[in-house]
Amino acid sequence: MDKAEGISKGGWVQVHIYAPTYTLPHMCTGYIYCLPGRRLLDQLNEVFPGTVSEAKGFLPVREGEMYALRGDSQLVKFACLNKANVLFVREFEGGHTRGVGGKAGYGGYPYVAKLPIAVKLYLPFYIVTGHMHCAEGQRASDVLNLALKFLPVTNAEICPSVGNIESGVSFVAVNKGQIILLEELEPSPMEVVET
């Protein structure tokens, strides 16, 4: 399959997948298939409007370039990565990070107004600073406790423990299971909880 041809058909999306390895800045670059008209975040969470969720623990990647500990890379036609070990995923199009919605005109998604909350996420070997998005009345802790495995972070800065900082990243899908600590940078006022 020609990479450009696959993208033009609307299903294959180029991604950089970050995992807790010493192969910075990312462990794999390749293409994953998103159902037509669906977002990367939905593919990672296996949530599609109007369908039943089918939990799959592995993320299939085609035409991938896997980076080794020694710094060299290997091209693979097909590989399956364990989603539980993925830290976060960036979606690319034309060499640039795609935005939250990816392609314009997604159908089937009800509009929900959300407020951005500035956060700093501590992950193995990385710190991601950016904005989480909470519905009215939600806090960052409420979003963390939702059933979804990956959450969107926008306007992100990716700071690896070794290597160069990547700033101006419009969208990153972060695996909540890999978050060690979340720090709200603009905390909301403390609420009194009656016991």
Q: Domain residue spans in the chain?
A: 3-105+113-184
Render pLDDT for 77-122 as a digit per residue (tens, 0 to 9).
998 888 888 899 988 765 445 554 444 344 555 566 788 889 999 9
Is 72 or 127 the better-scoring residue by pLDDT? 127
Residue 48 is predicted with a pLDDT of: 66
Residue 49 is predicted with a pLDDT of: 61
Residue 65 is predicted with a pLDDT of: 87
Which of 2-16, 43-57, 139-153 is predicted least confidently?
2-16
**55-58 contacts at long range (C-beta below 8 A, 24 or more positions apart):** 56/83, 57/82, 57/83, 57/84, 58/82, 58/83
As a whole number, mean pLDDT of residues 172-194 equals 77
Which of 11-20, 90-99, 155-164 is predicted least confidently?
90-99
What tokens were used for 22? 């010493």
Whether the pLDDT of residue 191 is over 80: the answer is: no
Residue 3 is predicted with a pLDDT of: 45
As a whole number, mean pLDDT of residues 2-11 equals 47
